[in-house]
Amino acid sequence: MSELHRLPAIDLQGLLESGQVSAREVTDAFLQRIEQVDGALNAFLHVNQAATEAADAIDKKRSAGEALPPTAGLPVAVKDVLCTTDMPTTSGSRILEGWVPPYDATVVRKYRDAGMVALGKTNMDEFAMGSSTEHSGYGPTKNPWDLERVPGGSGGGSAAAVSACEAPVALGSDTGGSIRQPAALTGTVGVKPTYGGVSRYGVIALASSLDQVGPVARTVVDAALLHDVIAGHDPHDSTSIPDPWPSMSEAALASAAEPSLAGVRIGRVTQLDTDGFQPGVRERFAEMLALAEKNGAEIVDIDAPHFDYAVAAYYLILPAEASSNLAKYDSVRFGLRVTPEGGQVTVEDVMAATREAGFGDEVKRRIILGTYALSAGYYDAYYGSAQQVRTLIQSDFRHAFEQVDVLLTPSAPTTAFRLGEQLDDPLAMYANDLTTIPANLAGIPGLSLPAGLAAEDGLPVGVQVMAPAFQDRRLYEVGAALESLVRERDGGLVSDRVPEPGAARDGGQK
């Protein structure tokens, strides 16, 4: 069957379960696609050479009549922040180049148990610090819609791979928007679950109070499919929620089949109605609100006064936690070790030389910021104050959800910007997460889905749905309904119209 790589994950699952295609056929289709286009994109840092063996094993079990999970044989791409025993895990950093972990992340174990086939590890900003995937130690990933533009970050590799049909679904991590912002820039769907809803065990930590693993897909239903695989309690993660989770895919499928927003109260945050958003983003967002209202939703203006301080608070909390988490990369226990030349060399000398050589500029910048914020005499003024702002933002959400069922915002202030355009302006780069950061500070779930293309540049625009904590299912119900309405309005989805990236503008070289 041709063009398998273009089919939604839910369709592939049906073909696999019915025996119309084999896991090997599906896996080969995606591996061939990666070989065809990834020279232009650099979405993958490592392609799993054992993927075909894993697919053959699934086919053997299916032929023998063994009962298999519904997702058995479905391929998945894996952000390189997740520990895998069968592939290197670098977190996009040279300091971990070639490192193969001795254990799997819990979500990795879960996709293995579900019979999914890992295609490889995807590129990312080093230690998930960035909004463009230009801070990777292994070169930038490029946006399939325009090879001269970024795919967003930090999870640009996963988003680009899914957008370019190199994988049907992918795993990402979201600390301040690292799943949702790349989804917006690449015309895909990205979800940050409720904090604690998906295990963080085996995820290379950036900021432990903010990090969350989630799915990337081309449709809301496909994202829900992967969410069901990875959700659930994990005793290895002390922040993991012990309560059982309802099926996200059932909710998404039901809503997609009969899309209705009748009686749904959708909040529009007045603080985000500013001139700081690209005109095309504002237009598509306004159209989405109008479409929702036309189909039964009630639009309510919401005041969230402390959202204005979210980016500032985030960029104190995140560097402080990152400074602590990255202290383990000391050249002594694992990873890169650089020994300076000269006479007597101390452990401190080796540590300094290793961190200088192994960390990129953005990581060094944030370590310095975080260490300063935690230092004696400044802790209360900076880190302590940021945590107080975080509490106020949580209060804003609590008041908002007393009035509405979900909030709707743009997923990013602009469409994909050009490679190199913001590299020398950290503040401009940080502002890309303006609308996504509040959800991480509050621990609530958020979903980005395509709203169409911006008129001025023809690039994807994303809108974000946010729901109260533990109400991830509501995200999928509203998200799937909105997606169905957009599909009906436009005669298809943005994710179906991505340009062919095979003929690379840069000659197809990584």
- Residues 87-128 pLDDT 10s: 999 999 999 999 999 999 999 999 999 999 999 999 999 999
pLDDT at 509 over 60: no
More confident residue, 112 or 507: 112
**Which member of 22, 79, 110, 163 is catalytic?**
79
Number of Cβ atoms within 10 Å of the Cβ of 273: 14
Q: How far apart are CA 51 and CA 140, in angstroms?
A: 25
Residue 1 pLDDT class (50, 70, 90 cuts) = low
pLDDT in tens, 493-505: 998 888 888 443 3
**Which member of 131, 136, 178, 331 is catalytic?**
178
Count of helices and strands (H, E) across the chain: 16, 11
Give me 95's structure tokens.
């300091």
Residue 503: per-residue pLDDT: 42
Residue 506: per-residue pLDDT: 37
pLDDT at 341 over 90: no
Q: How far apart are CA 233 and CA 197, in angstroms?
A: 7
Q: Which residues pair with 121 in a beta bridge?
A: 46, 78
200 to 31, 204, 442: CA distances (angstroms): 28, 8, 17
| Residue 154: active-site member | yes
pLDDT in tens, 132-153: 999 999 999 999 999 999 999 9
Residue 166: per-residue pLDDT: 98
pLDDT in tens, 342-380: 777 888 888 888 899 999 999 999 999 999 999 888 898
Give me 6's structure tokens.
């273009």
Check the CA dihedral 216-220-224-225 and report its sign: negative
Closest CA to 345 of 358, 357, 354: 354
pLDDT at 508 over 60: no
| Average pLDDT rounded to a whole number, residues 62-75 | 97
What domains are there in the chain, each with its CATH number? 4-300+399-496 (3.90.1300.10)
Residue 333 pLDDT class (50, 70, 90 cuts) = confident
End-to-end CA distance of the chain: 30
pLDDT at 507 over 70: no
**Which member of 22, 91, 132, 154 is catalytic?**
154
Residue 2: per-residue pLDDT: 67
| Residue 178: active-site member | yes
3-class SS string, 284-302: HHHHHHHHHHHCCCEEEEE
Closest CA to 184 of 415, 456, 503: 415
Number of Cβ atoms within 10 Å of the Cβ of 471: 16
DSSP 166-187: S-SEEEEE-SSSTTHHHHHHHT
